[in-house]
């Protein structure tokens, strides 16, 4: 939690003024029982109406001042809490964006979503209540005890016994409930993952008629979450009845001692009423404090999870690159070489790529083909620098990527972790690469907004040219609004083929040094795909282009074809050469063109 306090620093003024105004309100509140005692003793018992009206007006004044102070404190506390939450969400989002593929896969999507939503919301509530009540409630409790001594020492001694017992109960519940709420939040991660899977895969679930099975699986996760919440609730539920019991017993004791003293003429009736009012204040404030502690318990559990998430990348983000921003990226990329490259995903049993070697030069189109799970996507992810824990050498412009990453960071190559290497490489290569992933991803906004992801300052002419090259011009200009046509979340208002072509146009508009199309024409018919390949050829004239496909027709005209089989390079060459020399490629081709003779 200490790591998160820095996000409150911009709101130091609000964090100080909020509690101060609350303490001011509490101070005025502590005088109310004394005023009530004076009204009873000097007004009601002496039948002095003028005195009653005067002291009544004083009570109204104290209430108005307290109200103004409370509203002001609420304003400052809310401003600090919302600003804190906004800064924290921004930090978490940046942290997620800086993570490598390996780290994201290890952390899990559901856990990251829960951190930036539920956990931050709980922390925001905790900060708000903390600024308003954490000082006010103890101040009222101890202030009431002190004020009680000014009224009657014997009656006030009961307060000194009651308050420590109450605090022991509160902190005992606190120690027990913090670990339980951590388990609740972890279970919430699982429920979030399950919910997300069902929303994104709703079509598949319905297509396979698995609604009942998914409902049962979801109910199981919900039952686990419910049982943990009930357990945590039962523990924290002890707080209020225990507090009421202790305070009510103390109230009976005050009544007994006070009534005895009133009967003996030691104290006035007003003094007894003041003592009871102070006891009532203690009861109310301890109930508030108990609820605050329950909320703070949840907030501490959420804060620890967020702090651990941010701490994981703190070391990397704190380091400054020794080279300038211009030196941090490849200006012109003329060649890419793989030399005996192998790669295994974290926790995988076997390597996804084994001893891959090839070279590619500027102006070449490199086709990559192979069966499902042969390592095609893994290969292009290594080119993008998404993973740093590979063996062998990947060279760009004849410079080893790991050596380049070390030079950027001012360290020795062997001292860099795989995650840090991947982060540096992704940053260095980002401006030079245009990629169309397997799943076409569009963002909510307009067609123009999505194209500007590739080139922020793109003109209308740039957009039109990229749309024509990607065979997307006609359907875009056939929609209402044309370039301003709405794109819903994930591009759900476009067909699969249209989403793919818009994704290709987004990569084309960048005119990148390295263009990667990862099975990005799978939803296109042969005629449209052929026209898109012509656009690829235009872009490839000034770049190195990698086209991943499961269809031989999509890469037949490539300058070089890499044939992958179970992570190994089964063949490398042009179409005509591979038909004669590579059994794997020949089988793929024959399965797709059975009527042609080889």
318 within domain boundaries: no
- Indicate whether 232 belongs to any domain: yes
Cα 384 from chain centroid (whole Å):
24
Pairing of strands 560-565, 433-436: unpaired
pLDDT recorded at residue 317: 45
- Give the model's pLDDT for residue 72: 92
* Same domain as 261, residue 343: no
Rounded to whole angstroms, the Cα distance separating 128 from 337 reads 56
The candidate with the shortest Cα–Cα distance to 185, out of 121, 269, 114, is: 114
For residues 133 and 278, state if they share a domain.
yes
Among all chains, which residue has been given the structure tokens 């070391």?
Answer: 315
Residues of the domain holding 207: 2-307
User: How high does pLDDT run on average in the chain?
Assistant: 81
Contact assessment for residue 346 and residue 106, using Cβ atoms and an 8 Å cutoff: yes
Name the packing angle between helices 460-469 and 526-540 (round to 10°).
Answer: 130
Instruction: Assess whether 30 and 133 both reside in one domain.
Output: yes
Q: What is the 3-state secondary structure (H, E, C) of 254-299?
A: HHHHHHHHHHCCCCCHHHHHHHHHHHHHHHHHHHHHHHHHHHHHHH
DSSP of 126-161: HHHHIIIIITHHHHHHHHHHHHHHHH-HHHHHHHHH
3-state helix, strand, coil in the chain (%, to 5): 70, 10, 20
Q: Tell me how many domains the chain contains.
A: 2
DSSP label at 324?
-
* Residue 75: predicted pLDDT: 92
Cβ–Cβ under 8 Å, residues 466 and 451: yes
Give the pLDDT of residue 481.
Answer: 83
Check residue 316 and give its pLDDT.
47
Cα dihedral 220, 225, 226, 232 sign: positive
Low-confidence winner among 93-97, 149-153, 220-224 (lowest mean pLDDT) = 149-153
Calculate what percentage of the chain has a pLDDT beyond 70. Answer: 93
CATH number, position 128: 1.20.1560.10
**Helix axes of 153-200 and 136-151: crossing angle, nearest 10 degrees:** 170
**pLDDT tier at 68 (50, 70, 90 boundaries)?**
very high
Summarize the confidence of residues 406-435 as an average pLDDT: 73
| Residue 597 forms part of a structural domain | no
Both 264 and 407 in a single domain? no
Claim to verify: residue 375 and residue 268 sit in the same structural domain: no
Percentage of the chain lying above the pLDDT 90 cut: 2
pLDDT digits (tens, 9 = 90+) for 521-544: 777 777 887 888 888 888 878 888
Last residue of a domain, one of 288, 307, 326: 307
Going by pLDDT thresholds of 50, 70 and 90, the confidence category of residue 313 is low
561-590 pLDDT per residue, tens: 998 888 888 888 888 888 888 888 888 888
Shared domain for 284 and 352, answered yes or no, is no
> Does 295 lie in the same domain as 349?
no
Pair 471, 532: CB distance under 8 Å = yes
Whether pLDDT at 322 is above 50: no
Look-up: residue for tokens 């040219």?
465
Decide if pLDDT at 346 tops 80: no
pLDDT for 325 = 46
In a domain, 274, yes or no: yes
Q: What is the mean pLDDT of residues 2-7?
A: 78
In a domain, 327, yes or no: no
Per-residue pLDDT, averaged over 176-192, amounts to 80
- Counting beta carbons within 10 angstroms of the beta carbon of residue 405, is it exposed (0 to 12), middle (13 to 18) or buried (19 or more)? buried
Going 58 to 59 to 61 to 65, the CA torsion angle's sign is: positive
**429 pLDDT exceeds 80?**
no
Same domain, 202 and 82: yes
Other CB atoms within 10 Å distance of the CB of residue 404: 23
Query: Which of 194-198, 227-231, 284-288 tops mean pLDDT?
Result: 227-231
The phi and psi torsions of 277 (rounded to 5 degrees) equal -65, -40
pLDDT band (50, 70, 90) for residue 299: confident
Separation CA 104–CA 109 (nearest Å): 7
471 lies in some domain: yes
Q: Biggest alpha carbon distance in the chain?
A: 120
**pLDDT band per the 50, 70, 90 thresholds, residue 326:** very low
Query: 100 lies in a domain?
Result: yes
- How far is the C-alpha of 574 from the C-alpha of 560, rounded, in Å? 5
The single-letter DSSP state of residue 43 is I
Q: How many CB atoms lie within 10 A of CB 412?
A: 9
pLDDT band at residue 597 using 50, 70 and 90 as cut-offs: low
Q: Greater confidence, 331 or 425?
A: 425
Confidence bin at 508 (pLDDT 50/70/90): confident
Q: Looking at residue 415, what is its pLDDT?
A: 64
Do residues 496 and 523 make contact, with C-beta atoms less than 8 angstroms apart? yes
Helix and strand numbers (H, E) in the chain are 22, 12
The answer on 393 and 275 residing in a single domain is no
Closest CA to 118 of 199, 220, 187: 187
321 has a pLDDT exceeding 60: no
d(CA 233, CA 213): 30
330 band by pLDDT with thresholds 50, 70 and 90: low
> Are residues 356 and 302 located together in one domain of the fold?
no
Position 322 in a domain: no
């Amino acid at each position: 939690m200490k790591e998160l306090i820095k996000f409150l620093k911009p709101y130091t003024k609000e964090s100080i003024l909020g509690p101060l105004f609350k303490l001011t309100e509490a101070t005025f509140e502590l005088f109310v029982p004394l005023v009530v005692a004076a009204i009873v003793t000097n007004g009601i018992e002496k039948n002095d109406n003028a005195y009653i009206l005067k002291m009544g007006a004083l009570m109204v004044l104290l209430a108005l001042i307290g109200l103004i102070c409370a509203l002001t404190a609420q304003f400052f506390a809310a401003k600090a809490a919302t600003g804190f939450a906004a800064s924290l969400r921004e930090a978490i989002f940046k942290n997620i964006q800086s993570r490598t593929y390996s780290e994201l896969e290890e952390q899990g999507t559901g856990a990251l979503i829960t951190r930036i939503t539920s956990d931050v919301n709980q922390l925001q509530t905790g900060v708000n209540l903390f600024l308003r009540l954490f000082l006010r409630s103890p101040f009222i409790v101890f202030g009431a005890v002190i004020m009680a001594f000014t009224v009657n020492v014997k009656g006030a001694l009961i307060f000194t016994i009651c308050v420590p017992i109450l605090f022991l109960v509160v902190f005992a519940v606190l120690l027990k409930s913090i670990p339980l709420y951590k388990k609740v939040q972890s279970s919430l991660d699982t429920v979030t993952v399950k919910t997300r899977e069902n929303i994104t895969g709703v079509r598949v679930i319905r297509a396979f008629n698995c609604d009942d099975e998914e409902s049962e699986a979801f109910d199981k996760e919900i039952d686990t979450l419910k049982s943990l919440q009930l357990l945590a609730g039962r523990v924290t539920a002890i707080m209020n009845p225990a507090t009421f019991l202790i305070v009510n017993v103390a109230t009976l004791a005050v009544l007994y001692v006070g009534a005895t003293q009133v009967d003996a003429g030691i104290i006035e009736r007003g003094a007894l009423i003041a003592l009871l009012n102070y006891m009532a204040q203690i009861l109310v404030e301890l109930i508030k404090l108990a609820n605050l502690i329950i909320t703070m318990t949840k907030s501490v559990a959420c804060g620890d999870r967020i702090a651990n998430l941010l701490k994981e990348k703190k070391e990397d983000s704190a380091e400054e690159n020794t080279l300038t921003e211009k030196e941090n990226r490849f200006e012109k990329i003329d060649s890419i070489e793989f030399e005996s490259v192998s790669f295994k995903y974290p926790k995988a049993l076997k390597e996804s790529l084994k001893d891959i070697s090839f070279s590619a030069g500027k102006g070449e189109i490199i086709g990559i083909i192979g069966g499902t799970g042969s390592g095609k996507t893994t290969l292009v992810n290594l080119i993008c620098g998404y993973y740093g824990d590979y063996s062998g050498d990947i060279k760009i412009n004849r410079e080893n990527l790991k050596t380049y990453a070390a030079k950027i960071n001012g360290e020795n190559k062997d001292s860099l972790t795989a995650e840090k290497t991947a982060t540096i490489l992704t940053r260095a290569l980002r401006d030079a690469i245009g990629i169309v992933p397997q799943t076409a991803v569009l963002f909510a906004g307009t067609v123009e907004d999505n194209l500007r992801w590739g080139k922020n300052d793109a003109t209308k002419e740039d957009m039109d040219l990229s749309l024509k090259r990607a065979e997307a011009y006609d359907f875009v200009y056939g929609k209402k609004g044309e370039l301003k046509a709405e794109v819903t979340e994930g591009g759900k208002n476009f067909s699969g083929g249209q989403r793919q072509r818009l994704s290709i146009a987004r990569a084309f508009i960048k005119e990148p040094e390295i263009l990667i199309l990862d099975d990005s024409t799978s939803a296109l018919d042969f005629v449209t795909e052929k026209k898109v390949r012509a656009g690829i050829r235009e872009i490839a004239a000034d770049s190195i282009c990698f086209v991943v496909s499961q269809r031989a027709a999509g890469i037949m005209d490539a300058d070089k074809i890499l044939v992958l089989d179970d992570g190994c390079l089964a063949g490398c060459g042009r179409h005509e050469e591979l038909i004669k020399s590579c059994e794997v490629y020949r089988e793929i081709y024959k399965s797709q063109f059975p009527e042609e003779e080889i």
